[in-house]
Structure 1
Amino acid sequence: MEYVEIARAESERGELVLRERREEHAPTAVELRANGVFVMDTLETSTEQALASAALAQVADPRAVVVGGLGLGFTMHEVLADHRVEKCAVVEIEQALVDWMRDGTVPHGPALLADQRVTVVVADIAVALAEAPRASYDLILLDVDNGPDQLVHDTNAVLYEELFLETARRVLRRGGALAVWSASQTHALEQTMKTVFGNAEALRREVLLQDRDEEYWLYVSRVTSDA
């Protein structure tokens, strides 16, 4: 197996690396790593697609959607495939990653970002939602980590606490939902979401990754009133 670095950037959160993975008898993959930790690649996109499709199924009319975390764009792509979606705001904290998607360093990036329904905001998702108007979105998909037990950055821990979840509830419309992706079952998150929203559901999802059966979780809370 051979790795070829495509791009590298440094921020206050550390190092972000984009590299090409070349393997005999296998398609070439573009791989994203943060501080040396594998985040995602362009071959195994099942989890990102499953996050979006499962979350969209929880809302009757997801006209306005927020995706927390751009990654390599596959969650956003699945959201845009839903004809009900009229606008999709993608919040990504790393400017370099947005630039790589826009300038073609990530080959499929420009085509995805050309969709007129997409707005990319370079910001911390907690700050972006705090500044959003009340009841302005139908669905928030949070995919910045592999859940509260597998953080990309330690500072992301606040995204699974009551203060942030209350902010998310404020910007959701009645009938809207918050969906949080997790690579492992987390009863603590489920309980915190239930405390804030008055309800929470843990949806188990089985995903096939490189001929392996993997189990992931989607935690969903719905806004059932205007309060």
Structure 2
Amino acid sequence: MLRRRGEVYEIIANGCFLMDTSDGRSERLLVDAARTALADPEGPDLPEGPNRPTLLIGGLGVGFSLVHAAAQPDWAAITVAEREDAIVDWHRSGPLAALTGDALADPRVSLLHNDLVAHLQHSSERYDALCLDIDNGPDWTVTEDNRGLYSPAGLAACRARLTPGGVLAIWSAQPSEAFEEAMRNAGFSSVRTEEVPVARGVPDVIHLGRNPS
């Protein structure tokens, strides 16, 4: 459901608040954290030209991550996976088109109308960065079938979709030491959590890990 509150739009799924258009700091940080993690620690920035990295954004949401990524020239290609018909329609011809219309028209951007978990499990495509935001976190999923993303098999599928040295970034409404350990057990290196300060309550976080091979 898309609900309007003044000038703010909110996405509600199964009665659970997911996100709104009021801020977007953590959604932008999701992309920035992956970009920073990809940068050569001995170099000034990301590769340029044909060697620029590719990005998969899991979950279109209200579009903050997509718009932020499309505003950066660093990405050679940006794929967005979104399974919900309603969300795709809101962005193509509905109230959210004003927010993301220019980004979706970017020739680097492809909108994949498909379930993210299924795409990770069955696609042969590989990306340099996965920025995933389809739940309130690994411990607070919107639907039961989303739990597969955070399982050992789901994390193995994420690694399989990453190039060597590629980065996995997952948004969460709260930190999870257990999920950090699950990422390490799945073979990710340089696992860490970045906090996103909020006005009150527990900070949002980004869980990060690198595919070492």
Question: Quick check: TM above 0.5?
Answer: yes
Aligned equivalents of 1:55, 1:71: Cα separation in 2: 18
Figure out how many residues of one structure are paired with residues of the other and give that number. Answer: 201
**Shift, 1:72, TM fit:** 0.8
For 2:31, the equivalent position in structure 1 comes to 52
The alignment partner of 1:52 has SS state of helix
**Shift, 1:190, TM fit:** 0.9
**Shift, 1:29, TM fit:** 0.9
Q: Could you give the per-residue CA deviations for residues 80-124 of structure 1, whole angstroms, max 9, x where no partner exists? A: 222210111111110111111011321323222111111111111
For 1:33, the equivalent position in structure 2 comes to 12
The alignment partner of 1:194 has SS state of helix
The partner residue of 2:4 within 20, 38, 62 is 20
For 1:165, the equivalent position in structure 2 comes to 155
Would you say 1:222 and 2:201 are equivalent positions? no
Aligned equivalents of 2:168, 2:188: Cα separation in 1: 13
Unaligned runs of 5+ in 2: 40-45, 47-51
Q: Could you give the per-residue CA deviations for residues 32-55 of structure 1, whole angstroms, max 9, x where no partner exists? A: 111222111111211111211112
Unaligned runs of 5+ in 1: 1-16, 23-27
Contact 1:146 1:182 in 2 (8 A): yes
The alignment partner of 2:130 has SS state of strand
Q: Could you give the per-residue CA deviations for residues 110-166 of structure 1, whole angstroms, max 9, x where no partner exists? A: 2221111111111111111223226x2100011101211111112211110111111
| Bigger relative contact order, structure 1 or 2 (CA pairs below 8 A, ≥6 apart) | 2
For 1:127, the equivalent position in structure 2 comes to 118
Contact 1:41 1:72 in 2 (8 A): yes
Identity of aligned residues (%): 34
RMSD of aligned Cα (Å): 1.8
Report which of the two has the higher share of helix: 2
Would you say 1:97 and 2:76 are equivalent positions? no
Question: Aligned AA for 1:81?
Answer: A
The 1:198–1:18 alpha-carbon spacing in structure 2 relative to 1, beyond 3 Å, is closer
For 2:22, the equivalent position in structure 1 comes to 43
Aligned equivalents of 1:185, 1:206: Cα separation in 2: 10
Aligned equivalents of 2:122, 2:8: Cα separation in 1: 37
For 2:107, the equivalent position in structure 1 comes to 116
Question: Aligned AA for 1:191?
Answer: E
State the TM-score, normalizing by the size of structure 2: 0.87
Aligned equivalents of 2:17, 2:23: Cα separation in 1: 12
Contact 2:56 2:81 in 1 (8 A): yes
Aligned equivalents of 1:52, 1:30: Cα separation in 2: 22
